[in-house]
Amino acid sequence: MKKKLLSVLLASSMLLSLAACGNTSDTADQAGTQNASQAAAEERSASKPAEEGKNSGVINVCLGSEPQSLDPAVNSTVDGASVICHLFSGLAKWGADANGKAELQPDCIEGFTEGVKNDDGTVTYTYKLRDGLKWSDGKDLTAGDFVYSWNRAAGTELAADYCYMFDVIVGYDEMWADNAKGDEKLKVEAPDDKTIVVTLKNDVPYWNELLAFPAYMPVREDVVSNESWATDPKSYICNGPYTIADWQHQSVIKLQKRDDFVDAADVTINEINCYLSDDNNNMLANFENGSWEFIDEVPTNEIPNLKENYPTELKIEGQLGTYYICWNINKDILPKTSKLTGAEKVRAEEEIRNAFALLIDRNYIVNDVSKKGEIPASSFVAMGLTDADGSQFYENAGPDPSYVGYYDVKEDAYEANWEKALTTLKKYYTFDESTQKFTDVPKLMYLYNTNDNHKAIAEAVQSTLSGIGISMDLQNQEFATFVETRKKGDYFVARNGWLGDYNDPISFLDMWITGSGNNDVQYGKGAHADVKAYSIDLTDLGYDTKVENGTWAETYDVVIKDIKECTDTKTRYELMHRAEDLLMSTGCICPIYFYTDIYMVDDSVSGVYTSPLGFKFFMHAKVNK
């Protein structure tokens, strides 16, 4: 999420200035669309009251489709997190500063405290809860609720996607050890109902930001004992500024302000209607007819028109995120006639996947397909994250100093990339010179969630591959189903995207450890668990780690562990570069672009703000119409 907020805002400003240079089109069909959009904009403007100033207290928004989960420990999506941040309060939060910009603030605690370093190198933090904290059913919120919640979110029984975010706390490793008995706990204690004491393995520079992340928010033991608690308003007990008044699944979630919330006086919106849709055209239609005041997506082909007709309502901002394509590492991609095995097979598949990455024209995608001002990406760790010396981390990535990242994504490099990719693929597949096509590449299946932009990008990739004889079918699924399919590894190739959980490169790297629930590539899982083909040497950095032809767990997982225990800034960042080098060498991560956040806010609305993580906040807004 954000720590060095200044650097994030600078990156956001840069991306926003680039976004203003979007393309326009002169075709007849698009001109007709532009006229319709312009007419809708004029009608909306004419329908707005001449005198504004009275806050209606109700805002209608669309953040996406039916959320994957509204359990803070289980959710792993940005739209779900935005809803959860209105329903729960953690020890910290992303609040608004005097200028309406997101900043890290204390929430359930009286204030941030300095950690006390212990003789063994661990660091202990002690927090005091504020007075007046209540659950939505009127019961007192206690320190013990946080102790229970953190152990639940970190534990093996729930096995949540984000369990690894608690690995900075003493006791986590014992919980997940092979010889664990099941009664191991994090070193977090509640000596009384108002005091929380937690001990970290070492100093963690992004600790305060973790405290604001949904996975760290509290739930109550008696409530979550009902496995379906997070799907029904009657059983949904929360501690934030809102509660769920009604939930019409696949249609709308109605959030109602809690009058007994400790900071209720600061909450200016009484009711938030979260409409559920994955149809961008439907979102825009409801925005244009005045039904919805906020939408978090727009149709890609409408962006040039929206820039012209809604210059104050269309927002394009920078984000700490990367849009990418991922490969299931357990899927065979060599031709059936291949005799390669073991490490040789792994090296060949790495070469092939990296060759596929060179075939993709990222500049075409951002300029002619997506058109949201994105920046072509050649690394996984996103633009906007800083390195040890304050420079951009992504600018220092990759093996070749002649370009940034792991392959050259400049427009004038595409032809050379194409030729290099073909040369590599010809090593492993049969190429018919007369047709200029490959004849024995296994058919690929590309999975994406229902969304016009994802579909357009998938079709662009499909068209590129088809031109050289590579067949790739497209399959789309509703978002919640798509997330589960990808997580289970029931796919070949899939669209993916990641927004940093805090402003540190590790938030893009620790998700790929063997046990991570966000490890969609399936590194170290299934058949890949036993593959011995990875090497890492950290002896030059003062570590004993030197592994040749080890498993993913013996190499990548070890580097991530070293990063999280390292307290020397320069060494820690070098370790993160080594981790990304290993990650990108597999070819399973194919970055397409660095995200921008595009959404629309009605001119009658003020006080909406976003975090660098993409979360949207409405509790301090006003709707003057």
26 pLDDT tier (thresholds 50, 70, 90): very low
19 pLDDT tier (thresholds 50, 70, 90): very low
CATH number at residue 451: 3.10.105.10
What are the contacts of 571-575 at 24+ separation with CB within 8 A? 571/541, 571/542, 572/388, 573/387, 573/388, 573/393, 573/505, 574/388, 574/541, 575/538, 575/541
For residue 10, pLDDT beyond 60: no
Q: Which residue has the higher pLDDT, 425 or 42?
A: 425
CA distance 395 to 222: 49
The verdict on residue 446 lying in a domain is yes
pLDDT tens profile 552-605: 999 999 999 999 999 999 999 999 999 999 999 999 999 999 999 999 999 999
Give residue 240's pLDDT: 98
Average pLDDT score over the chain: 91
The verdict on residue 448 lying in a domain is yes
User: 259 burial class (0-12, 13-18, 19+ CB within 10 angstroms)?
Assistant: exposed
CA distance 437 to 452: 29
The verdict on residue 28 lying in a domain is no
Give residue 275's pLDDT: 98
Give residue 613's pLDDT: 84
> What is the rounded average pLDDT of the residues 453-461?
97
Closest CA to 275 of 286, 288, 262, 267: 286
pLDDT tens profile 202-237: 999 999 999 999 999 999 999 999 999 999 999 999
The verdict on residue 495 lying in a domain is yes
The verdict on residue 516 lying in a domain is yes
> What is the rounded average pLDDT of the residues 341-352?
97
What contacts 42, CB < 8 A, 6 or more positions away? none
> What is the rounded average pLDDT of the residues 448-468?
96
For residue 416, pLDDT beyond 50: yes
CA distance 591 to 3: 24
For residue 34, pLDDT beyond 50: no
User: 363 burial class (0-12, 13-18, 19+ CB within 10 angstroms)?
Assistant: middle
The verdict on residue 380 lying in a domain is yes
Give residue 38's pLDDT: 55
Q: Which residue has the higher pLDDT, 40 or 26?
A: 40
> What is the rounded average pLDDT of the residues 10-37?
34
- Range in 50-54, 349-353, 398-402, 537-541 the model is least confident about: 50-54
Straight-line distance from the first to the last Cα atom of the chain, in angstroms, rounded to the nearest whole number: 33
The verdict on residue 437 lying in a domain is yes
Residue 441 CB neighbours (<10 A): 23
Q: What is the pTM of this model?
A: 0.86
For residue 254, pLDDT beyond 80: yes
Cα 469 from chain centroid? Answer: 34
CA distance 58 to 604: 12
Residue 19 has φ and ψ, to the nearest 5°, of -65, -25
For residue 8, pLDDT beyond 70: no
The verdict on residue 406 lying in a domain is yes
43 pLDDT tier (thresholds 50, 70, 90): low
Closest CA to 287 of 601, 614, 55: 601
Give residue 24's pLDDT: 24
For residue 27, pLDDT beyond 50: no
Q: What proportion of the chain, given as a percentage, has pLDDT over 90? A: 88
39 pLDDT tier (thresholds 50, 70, 90): low
32 pLDDT tier (thresholds 50, 70, 90): very low
pLDDT tens profile 267-277: 999 999 999 99
37 pLDDT tier (thresholds 50, 70, 90): low
Domain that holds residue 496: 319-595
- Number of domains composing the chain: 1
